[in-house]
Structures are given as structure tokens and as C-alpha cells.
Amino acid sequence: LTQKAPTIQEVARHAGVSIGTASNVLHGKSDLHSSKTSQKVWDSAKALGYRSNHLARSLARQRTNTLGVVTERHQPMMIRNLYFGYLLDGFLEYAVPHAYQVKLISILNDDPQNGVLHIENGTVDGVILIAPVIDSPLLSWAQQSRLPVVVCGSTLPESSGLTCVDVNNEQAVRQAVEWLIQQGHRRIGFVKGDRLHWSARQREQAYMRTMQEHGITPQQDWLAQGDYMLDSGRKAMEQLLKCRPPLTAILAANDQMALGIIDACRQYRVRIPAEVSVVGFDNVEHAALTIPALTTVHHPVREIGMRAAELLIEQVETGERFAKRVLLPGELVVRESTRPLETEAVSATNHNRTTNQ
């Protein structure tokens, strides 16, 4: 079978019809033609093993029916793999049945110009941007391009004029913090995510705001900088362990870092949750398997992927770009890494708070 693939022209000739007619019945309105003609064409197509050339079709129609998934290359691989995998899963889940194919566009962040060339080369009808960082050149490109775009995993300011789909970081973090407070905790530490990410900034803000709304002013040393990677959680914990009086609970901006915290606690023989409660963010697969099982906020990544596909396809098919913000709620999943603070501890904490303020 080393022969070339048959073209629509050969099908037309074989069926004894014009090439336009063949095209019509094969793709366009087949009810334009007599059923006898249609049948002839289909028969010929089958006989020759015809498969239409998507490239030629796309060029002629000025529509590729393919969507691009754009990632910046420098993202930490671990994060990328976890977030990316689920997101892609949801994206495909929606796009494929809607007759869209997907192309991966992996951009080296040291060469944004070149990256944009790979996007606007006619091969995709629209793109999703995966978790672009705060100063990403992709964002400014997206703002002035006329290609439909949906941003996932970064909640941009309203003023960006771009559609984005993300977990509601504000709501999600608030839920976690308020729950800890309800459990009697007040000295709650926070491990920040990678400062390049919108999500890191927003989660930190939500933490600060919620604490303050409850009359708690986090001290400087209650916060530690992380970068969303496991090891940074370990390091952050070493630092937070020095707080005096000690923190009774710690919220990490993602699960990877929470895993690092758990590991550090094991190393330093700090018991979770007896001595400190730990809460993560994402609800990765493994969060249920740590010892103790991690209390965390579920991040609906798959759903985000599906919604993104939906919103992107909507823009492609209506032909108009819009700027919606879809924020899916996170949901606290309480497991075993947290516990209520006992009365005695609570009063101790209250005392500390007084001295702190």
C-alpha cells in the first residue's frame, strides 16, 4: 500500500461526477444532490479508500477546526505535569466530540516573538493559554491579537479584556482559612506560591484579607516564600517552625508544597495534626495517601479544561471575541492533617495575639 492517498478529484472521476459535486456530498450539504448521485460518490470514496485532506480543506475554508494549547516552557515540570494532564483531559473531553482537534504549542519563554509565530500561522482557530505568568509576553500578544483566546489557570484582572477560566482563588482560600479559624486556629501560617504566578498572588491576598477580616494580623514571619515545588515547602516549613509562639496551622498555596511540609515535619519530628495542622490546595491524587491524609482544597482542573474548550469554541464559532471570567469554586476536603485547637491552646493563642498586636 505504498501508493499516494486518493484525492477528491479521483473520487469524482471514479463516480463520474464533477469534483464540486463530490465535495458537496462528502462534506457539505449532501441533500443538495439526488440520492443516486450521493450514493455513487460514497461508493467511489469507499472503493478508493478516500480520506479527505484536512490541510487542503482548512486552507480553502479558512478554518482549521483545531485549537491550540499554549504552554510556556519554563514552568516547573512537576506542576506542569499535574495541572497540565488534567486540564488537557478535560479540554479533549469537550473539544474532540465537538469535532475539534488539538495542537500543542510549547513556547520557549526566552523567545516569545518566535513563539507567537507558531501561534499565528494559520494552523489553529483559537488557543488556550495555560497559566501564563504575570508579565508573560503572551498576555500582551493576546490582547492585541484577533485570534480567539481563553486563559486558564490565571485569573487576570477584569481590565485585561481576556476570557479566563480558573478556580476561584479568593473563595477557595477564604474557605480554608475560615474553616481553620472556626476550628480555633488563629496563628495560621501561609506558604506562598511562585511569585510569577497570578494564582500565587491571589491566594496570598485572600489569605491576608480573610485573616484580617477575622481580626487577625498575620505577622511577617508567618509567611514564607515558596515556588509551588515540593522542596520549597520543606524549606518554608523549616522557617515557619521558628515562629514563637509556634504556629498552630499552616496553609500552603498548593499540595506539592504541603507534601514538602509534611515531609519536613516528619524529619523534625513535628506531629501533624497534634502540633500543627496542615492544609494544602489542589487535591492532587496523592493528597489522600499522605500520612496523615492531607486536608486540602479541591481544584477542579478537569472542569476548567472543559469550560475553557467550551468558551473557546463559542468564540470561534460566533466569530466574536468576548471577555468572560469564569471562576469555578474550590471545595475544602477535610482529611486528617488538621484538627480543632483545644481550649487551652485557643486561650494560649488568644494571649499571643494580644501580645502580637
Partner DNA sequence: CTGAAAGCGCTTACAG
Among positions 109-148, residues that touch DNA (CB under 7 A) are 122
| Residue 9 site contact among DNA, a second copy, none (CB < 5 to 8 Å, cut-off depends on kind) | DNA
In DSSP notation, 104-147 reads EEEE-TT-HHHHHHHHSSSS-SEEEEES-BTT-HHHHHHHH--S
Residue choice 32, 47, 108, 334 for contact with a second copy (CB under 8 A): 108
CB–CB of 295/80 below 8 Å?
A: no
Residue choice 1, 2, 3, 4 for contact with DNA (CB under 7 A): 4
Should residue 266 be labelled a site residue for a second copy when binding is judged by CB under 8 A?
yes
Q: Which residues pair with 327 in a beta bridge?
A: 166
Write the CA distances from 250 to 27, 37, 44, 200, 288, integer angstroms.
58, 72, 68, 16, 18
| Residue 212 site contact among a second copy, DNA, none (CB < 5 to 8 Å, cut-off depends on kind) | none
Q: Which is nearer to DNA, 23 or 315 (CB)?
A: 23
CB proximity list for 184: less than 8 A, separation 6 or greater: 340, 341, 342, 343, 345, 346, 349
Q: Which is nearer to DNA, 7 or 160 (CB)?
A: 7
CB proximity list for 61: less than 8 A, separation 6 or greater: none
| Residue 263 site contact among a second copy, DNA, none (CB < 5 to 8 Å, cut-off depends on kind) | a second copy
Should residue 118 be labelled a site residue for a second copy when binding is judged by CB under 8 A?
yes
Secondary structure letter of residue 163 according to DSSP: E
| Residue 81 site contact among DNA, a second copy, none (CB < 5 to 8 Å, cut-off depends on kind) | a second copy
List interacting residues with a second copy (CB under 8 A): 1-2, 5, 51-56, 58-59, 64, 66, 69, 77-78, 80-82, 84-86, 88-89, 92, 96, 101-106, 108, 117-118, 120-123, 144-146, 230, 259, 263, 266, 285-286, 289-291
